[in-house]
Amino acid sequence: MQTTHVSSSILGNEIIKPVYSEHGTMLIKKGTVINNDVLSKLLSHNVDVVYVMNALKNNIKEEGILSEREMNKSVASIKKVFDDVMYQEKLGIKSVIPNENLKLVEEVLALLIETLEQADQILYTVVDLLQTDEYTYKHNVNVAILSILTARALAYKKEDIKHIALGALLHDIGKMKISPILINKPSSLTVEERIEVEKHAQFGYEITETVPQIPFLSKQIIRLHHEKLDGSGYPLGLKGIEIPEYVKIVTVCDMYDAMTTNRIYRSKMPIYKALEHLMTESVFKIDPKIYRILTSNICMFPPGSGVVLSDGRIGVVTQFRHASPSRPSVKVLNLQGQKNYLEVEDVNLELNRTLFIKDTWDIDLFNQISKNAMD
Ligand SMILES: [Fe+2]
């Protein structure tokens, strides 16, 4: 099973998990073979990703914390809340969050907290975000999930975790007051454009400032989530202990999620690279303790990911163990040209200490090549 981007390249594949609309009604049944009609339906409902049968990942269990349906519903609620702000901005009226939208946010919050309470500490995958239009909404839900896990591991009280999650869910709401052309710009921003985009933190604070149902702690997260320990952040350029710990949690989760996600201007980084990058790039900028907690809760090589071993052989991860995050079990493959492969052996890296993972490879790319070769 694999998730794959909805495009004409998935024609002929079998859907193996039902697809729901943004309102939670079923669009495509499990077992449906994708033909042109099915594809048009998926595209017209802006479905980004579907699960299809993939022989390479057969019998490998990929786990997500939220079901696809729960994730879609949560993202649809956040989209409604955010889009209403954008609409008010277009009309030139002061942005507010009406009570009915606060209720939607409250429902998403309750779902995330309840689901994560029952979940294992390890985060296998956060939903992969391919459609950049939807990026801001999904990113906010992902950051809320990561922040709940991190705050919980730091032994925060339930009430505080809820307020941190609320801040994370709304942290980029201020982006709705900034031109989408700038937010989705594929090339790098000019200095003026960057200054404009950076205003989103303060804008977000202004939108929520007068809402009594949103606690101060959550409003601080919205305002300060781009502050950095060395004072290089914005909007206030706060330093070190001037930044509350609950804000730093959301900052680290925000940076991590942004790095591991496909964006219009670059494709996503493998998780282990994003984590290395986050640490080296941010030595003086982010809190190392929070970074450590986040990394211990993320599966670096999720089952189903392609890896390259130190002896040059390639394989697919079959099992991840929390105790040895860099030493999963791997099904070693022998690629026969660009479209076939043989399974050579199963290697448990926890037992085989002469090998290690030196890189990752993109299974989806292999599937794309082999499909093209067969066409
Ligand atoms: Fe932001």
Task: Annotate 259-285 with DSSP letters as a single string.
Answer: HTS-BTTBPPPPHHHHHHHHHHHTTTT
pLDDT beyond 90 at 200: yes
User: Domain spans of the chain?
Assistant: 1-62+306-375, 68-296
pLDDT of residue 253: 93
Select the more confidently predicted residue: 234 or 318. Answer: 234
What is the 296 CA–ligand 1 centroid distance (Å)? 24
What is the 82 CA–ligand 1 centroid distance (Å)? 14
What is the 171 CA–ligand 1 centroid distance (Å)? 6
What do you get for the CA distance between the two ends of the chain, in Å? 21
User: Residues 98, 103, 108, 113: what is their CA dihedral angle, to the nearest 10 degrees?
Assistant: 130
CATH 1.10.3210.10 fits 68-296, yes or no: yes
Return the percentage of the chain with pLDDT > 90, whole number. Answer: 36
What is the 5 CA–ligand 1 centroid distance (Å)? 26
**Per-residue confidence at 130, pLDDT binned at 50, 70, 90?**
very low
Select the more confidently predicted residue: 21 or 161. Answer: 161
**For 346-360, what is the mean pLDDT?**
87
For 170, residues 6+ apart whose C-beta sits below 8 A from its C-beta are 81, 105, 140, 204, 208, 214, 218, 222
**Local structure of residue 199 (DSSP, 8 states):** T
What is the 201 CA–ligand 1 centroid distance (Å)? 6
**Per-residue confidence at 50, pLDDT binned at 50, 70, 90?**
confident
CA triple 65-70-76, angle to 5 deg: 125
What is the 76 CA–ligand 1 centroid distance (Å)? 19
pLDDT of residue 269: 67
This prediction has a pTM of: 0.73
What is the 179 CA–ligand 1 centroid distance (Å)? 14
Select the more confidently predicted residue: 127 or 290. Answer: 290
- Mean pLDDT (the chain) is 82
pLDDT of residue 338: 57
What is the 85 CA–ligand 1 centroid distance (Å)? 16
Amino acid code (one letter) for 369: I
**For 198-213, what is the mean pLDDT?**
95
Select the more confidently predicted residue: 198 or 131. Answer: 198
What is the 345 CA–ligand 1 centroid distance (Å)? 45
Distance CA 88, CA 84 (A): 6
What is the 14 CA–ligand 1 centroid distance (Å)? 38
**Local structure of residue 332 (DSSP, 8 states):** E
pLDDT beyond 70 at 126: no
Select the more confidently predicted residue: 189 or 10. Answer: 189
pLDDT of residue 106: 96
For residues 28 and 19, the answer to whether their CB atoms sit within 8 Å is yes
What is the 172 CA–ligand 1 centroid distance (Å)? 5
